[in-house]
Chains A and B, each alone.
Chain A
């Protein structure tokens, strides 16, 4: 039986957003002016002509991936056969996975780096040949309302069905996330989101039941981690596992997440983190910056204010992928 690894779903969204927050020093993409909206048939025809050209170019470079029973999608981005996909499709480096090219030809690829939090994955096709590929664009300049094209294999690869084309607009670029109304589904994970010039601007990552909530990894995250990806690194994200709110005294914990280091160290809701090692904690951002700077396994001393008493608690920072 086919097993699809579903795109990440809504129940984990709050946690995911929290982790995303931890993983970035919360600098959202600049919110810019929206692209011009189509008003007439001619406007629509202009978009349609571009979409049709993108599809022609993108079909040969869009692939289906069968990673030992996990079906996903991917896109070839270099003539020597690098394939971008979602981290949750390719997972651990060094695996051999099946890649089904347009026209049903099957080749093999090796999995390379895995960015667990950002959901980054990279493959390299085995075999010397020139492969059809798409250019990696940039996601920094994306604007709300930009038209885009989504390609992939929803439901997994289906014999006789080419990559499935969908259109939509960029709805949000806030929190370094790319959200569109290109409806993607299980099996699309790892497939490309393209601009109207046919450049890859995102990789399909996860959805929410709301049909307008389709999330893609912004392509810039692949650019930023390119060396780690090509050198087959696995990396998660350092965290201690708390949720909370900013407080006059520091960062007040409202929830200690089960199975994460903060819980093991005995942190409790109501505790206010005032210092991490010798750095003053004034708000979430300062805490997040300090935690994410440290690699997994590092011990940090937190100065905690609990019931008007100050105490020091040692917490070992964990990798997101290894926690629990």
Chain B
């Protein structure tokens, strides 16, 4: 091939573009080598481990975009996912390629779990690991998706414990409102308050149906609910009374932590029981199963918390929640 100046320039442009993308990528992921803990080759060693569980793993999508992973918990069309990621309606993509319209049927706020239902009666339900056995510290954990190898692997870092809610954050400046509520002085952009539709000069008179008389009472409520919790606000807006629903966020005070953690789940604290592991996932890759080397599910991957931590709800807790909720929703016999 004759190398002209034009082809040389062409090569140069391509090389520059290639190096630009790799630089952007390297900022977060570095040049990941195949043999690294989360490299392609290491993950490929888990192919047998995730062979079965892949079939019960669901991609929850909205307009073709992944918003969460999910887990088939009953063959009759029931899929469990992370509540704070699941919209009221979405699509569930199965490992066999089926794409089914899904409706959110139940939200279990305390665990941040949601049950979706799709029309199907032959879904491959997840196989849970022995209910009595908690995943042991130091044991492998894999995060499956539809591909042959898992998305990420790690080990159990800390046994199950209560994860206290981080300090809740609404995103408002509050003053006392003449003894009959808490007056919103200002609403900060891009905060739970703004998303809930709060406006300056609103007077909050009740939170989660408990009356609010002053600033302190509202602040206490926000703290009690904690990050990820729901707060129903009764608001006096001029002559009108409106009800707003806010999802309390959490504020990360340390900018270094944000920079070094990468993207974390909006709700990553306030779980009654969760074990910690070190598999690295993106927030939208939560909601699916976690398996140990037996290939059975030891829990649901519920959150990416920070650089060093992801959280899983243990299988036993999940099974109890699912049974209880399905009993309420259906007359299914659970087995």
Contact = CB atoms under 8 A, between A and B. Distances in A.
Interface of A: 4, 6, 9, 34, 37-41, 43-45, 47-48, 51-52, 54-55, 145, 149, 154-155, 160-162, 164-169, 171, 181-186, 188, 207-213
24 contacts: A34-B35, A37-B35, A41-B48, A41-B293, A48-B139, A48-B140, A48-B293, A55-B137, A154-B306, A154-B307, A160-B162, A164-B276, A165-B137, A165-B155, A165-B156, A166-B308, A169-B36, A169-B37, A181-B37, A183-B280, A183-B307, A183-B308, A185-B307, A207-B260
Interface in B25-67: 26-30, 32-33, 35-38, 41-42, 44-46, 48-49
Given A37-B41, A41-B48, A211-B307, A51 B155 contact: yes
B158 interface: yes
B263 to A, nearest CB: 11
A192 to B, nearest CB: 15
A12 to B, nearest CB: 12
A19 B25 CA distance: 28
Contact of B45 (A43, A166, A188): A43
B278 interface: yes
Interface string B100-128: 00000000000000000000000000000
B138 interface: yes
Chain B interface residue bracket vs A: 35 or more
Interface stretch (B7-15, B225-233, B251-259, B319-327): B251-259
Contact of B158 (A145, A165, A171, A207): A165
Contact of B138 (A37, A44, A52): A52
Given A160-B161, A209-B262, A210-B30, A6 B35 contact: no
A210 B257 CA distance: 12
A30 to B, nearest CB: 19
B293 A185 contact: no
Contacts of B162: 160
Given A6-B256, A48-B138, A48-B293, A167 B308 contact: no
Given A43-B45, A44-B45, A164-B276, A155 B306 contact: yes
Interface in B262-312: 262, 276, 278, 280, 293, 306-309
Contacts of B254: 4, 6, 186
A184 B27 contact: no
Among B30, B44, B45, B138, chain A packs the most CB atoms within 10 A around the CB of: B138
B36 A185 contact: no
Contacts of A155: 306, 308
B62 to A, nearest CB: 27
A209 B28 contact: yes
B154 interface: yes
Nearest to A167: B155
B138 A45 contact: no
A162 B262 contact: no
Contacts of B46: 41, 44
A110 to B, nearest CB: 29
Nearest to B259: A209
B296 to A, nearest CB: 13
A176 to B, nearest CB: 20
B250 interface: no
A154 B309 CA distance: 9
Interface string B134-165: 00111110000000000000111111011000
Contact of A211 (B28, B49, B140): B28
Contact of A149 (B26, B27, B138, B276): B138
A166 B36 CA distance: 14
A165 B138 contact: yes
A211 B33 CA distance: 13
A169 B154 CA distance: 12
B36 A171 contact: yes
B278 A44 contact: no
A212 B30 contact: yes
Contacts of B49: 41, 44
A154 B306 CA distance: 10
A211 B25 CA distance: 12
A48 B136 CA distance: 10
A209 B157 contact: no
A52 B45 contact: no
Contacts of B156: 165
Given A38-B42, A165-B137, A165-B155, A188 B308 contact: yes
A188 B260 CA distance: 13
A153 B96 CA distance: 42
Given A44-B293, A55-B137, A154-B309, A167 B30 contact: no
A209 B46 CA distance: 27
Contacts of A40: 45, 48
A164 B158 contact: yes
Interface in B223-247: none
Most B C-beta atoms less than 10 A away, residue of A145, A181, A213: A181
Contacts of B138: 48, 51-52, 54-55, 149, 165, 167
A1 B77 CA distance: 48
B199 to A, nearest CB: 31
A9 B307 contact: no
Contacts of B278: 165-167, 182-183
A162 B30 contact: no
B40 to A, nearest CB: 11
What are the nearest 10 A-B pairs in CB distance? A52-B138, A55-B138, A212-B30, A185-B308, A154-B308, A51-B138, A166-B278, A210-B30, A185-B307, A38-B45
Nearest to A145: B35
B309 A9 contact: no
A184 B26 CA distance: 18
A209 B260 contact: yes
B293 A164 contact: no
Contacts of A185: 257, 260-261, 306-308
B144 to A, nearest CB: 14
